[in-house]
């Protein structure tokens, strides 16, 4: 083991080439402004020494001196790994990674952010946000107070998924849930469904609100359009509720709940979609094994990742005018769980 030799610096290069440190920096950055002139021989000499030594500028010092780092931060607003939802977030990361590579940025995952009260916190004692030029926020729910603080600090960021204003507009790249749900509702109406039920997970997350709003708007002409809440574990109770209401189509926010509901229906001898149509409203957030292809839609996760980087770079260099909020369309999935309801019969 040799002693950790000191890093080669611009000073060393300068000494070797017989110039000043400033000249090395100018050559390195290929500055050719009108008021910065380097003789070709000098430039070559410096470049030769750089090549010989294999010198590379220290990015940390560079960042301190100038303004940017070419680093994009990624903050995952979910409890620690390993968690069931990690597969759900992976495609976002792939898109982010792909676009970051294209624009020549490195990606900093803020794995060091501590978990307090079951969720990650951006702001804490030893906040490291500034390592990156800007940050992408991932997660089902994002604390509005933290968004507000980011806005206040003028820190460049983009949320993946639409977010309500928080002390100003929040830049985001989201999925157009409202439109996707509306199209599914319309499809159900065309199939002859008249009593629809939205089976949701909660009310707070923007992604839930958007789905509910799309449902409510599109189902306005139906005979009945209710919204209830349910969890995967309560599938039987949910099924009872649907049957009691006479609903023929369930729009289920959570994929796992849809799977459980279908299984419960089958156990009772009901057919899907004959006795009950089940529509899912997005990809599984936790892994659920099933052989059935549910009718529903797909969230353009990779594309959202890509575009979030695109928007972020715009926010960082200030070139993003009003284009800081985007909603991407979701692709509908033609599954086997939405169909024409059987003529009403007395059900047990």
Partner DNA sequence: TCGCCGTGCTAATACGTATTAGCATCTATG
Partner DNA sequence: CATAGATGCTAATACGTATTAGCACGGCGA
Q: Which residues bind a second copy (CB under 8 A)?
A: 2, 4-5, 7, 54, 56-61, 63-64, 69-71, 80-82, 86, 90, 94, 97-98, 100-101, 104-112, 123, 125-131, 149, 153-154
**Measured distance CA(70)–CA(117) in Å, rounded:** 33
Q: Which among 30-38, 69-77, 142-150, 266-274 is the span making contact with DNA, rule CB under 7 A?
A: 30-38
Residues 126-165 touching DNA, rule: CB under 7 A, are: none
Per the DSSP assignment, residues forming a β-bridge with 277 are 249
Query: Which partner, DNA, a second copy, none, binds residue 18 by CB below 5 to 8 Å per kind?
Result: DNA
Least Å distance, CB 206 to DNA, is: 34
Q: Rounded CA gap, 75 and 95, in Å? A: 15
Strands 157-160 and 71-76: unpaired
> Is 44 a residue that touches DNA (CB under 7 A)?
no
Which of 166, 123, 127 has the alpha carbon at shortest distance from 144? 166
- The nearest distance, CB 319 to DNA, in angstroms, is 18
Distant-in-sequence, close-in-space partners of 47: CB < 8 Å, separation ≥ 6: 27
Q: How far is the CB of 89 from DNA (least distance, A)?
A: 31
Which of a second copy, DNA, none is residue 180 near (CB under 5 to 8 Å by kind)? none
User: Binder to DNA among 32, 53, 61, 79 (CB under 7 A)?
Assistant: 61
| Structure-derived torsion over alpha carbons of residues 292, 293, 295, 296, reported in degrees to the nearest 10 | 110
Check residue 281 for interaction with DNA (CB under 7 A).
no
Q: Rounded to an integer, what distance in angstroms lies between the CA atom of residue 87 and that of residue 47?
A: 47
Number of residues that bind DNA (CB under 7 A): 31
Q: 308: how many CB neighbours lie within 10 A of its CB?
A: 29
For position 22 contacting DNA by CB under 7 A, the verdict is: yes
Rounded CA-CA distance 121/126 in Å is: 11
Any residues with CB less than 8 A from the CB of 6 and at least 6 apart, and which?
none
Where along the sequence are the contacts to DNA (CB under 7 A)? 6-7, 9-11, 18-23, 25-26, 28-29, 31, 35-39, 41-43, 57-58, 61-62, 64-66
């Amino acid at each position: 083991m040799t002693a950790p030799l000191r890093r080669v610096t611009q000073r060393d290069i300068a000494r070797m080439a017989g110039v000043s440190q400033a000249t090395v920096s100018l050559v390195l950055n290929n500055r050719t402004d009108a008021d910065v002139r380097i003789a070709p021989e000098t430039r070559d000499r410096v470049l030769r020494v750089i090549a010989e030594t294999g010198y590379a500028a220290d990015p940390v010092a560079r960042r301190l001196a100038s303004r940017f780092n070419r680093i994009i931060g990624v903050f995952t607003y979910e409890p620690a790994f390993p968690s069931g939802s990690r597969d759900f977030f992976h495609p976002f990361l792939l898109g982010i990674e792909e676009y970051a590579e294209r624009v020549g940025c490195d990606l900093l995952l803020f794995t060091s952010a501590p978990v307090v009260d079951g969720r990650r916190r951006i702001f804490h004692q030893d906040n490291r946000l500034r390592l990156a030029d800007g940050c992408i926020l991932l997660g089902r729910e994002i604390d509005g107070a933290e968004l507000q603080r980011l806005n206040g600090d003028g820190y460049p960021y983009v949320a993946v998924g639409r977010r309500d204003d928080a002390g100003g507009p929040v830049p985001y790249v989201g999925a157009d849930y409202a439109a996707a749900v509306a199209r599914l509702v319309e499809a159900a109406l065309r199939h002859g469904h008249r009593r629809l039920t939205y089976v949701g997970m909660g009310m707070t997350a923007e992604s839930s609100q958007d789905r509910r709003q799309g449902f409510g708007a599109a189902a306005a002409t139906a005979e009945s359009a209710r919204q209830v809440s349910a969890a995967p574990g309560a599938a039987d109770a949910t099924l009872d509720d649907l049957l009691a209401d006479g609903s023929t189509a369930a729009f289920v926010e959570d994929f796992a709940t849809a799977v459980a509901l279908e299984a419960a229906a089958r156990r009772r001898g009901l057919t899907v979609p004959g006795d009950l149509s089940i529509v899912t409203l997005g990809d599984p957030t936790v892994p659920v094994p099933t052989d059935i292809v549910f009718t529903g839609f797909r969230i353009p996760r990779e594309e959202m990742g890509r575009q979030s980087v695109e928007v972020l770079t715009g926010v960082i260099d200030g070139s993003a005018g009003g284009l800081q909020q985007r909603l991407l369309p979701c692709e509908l999935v033609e599954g086997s769980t939405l169909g024409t309801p059987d003529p009403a019969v007395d059900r047990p």
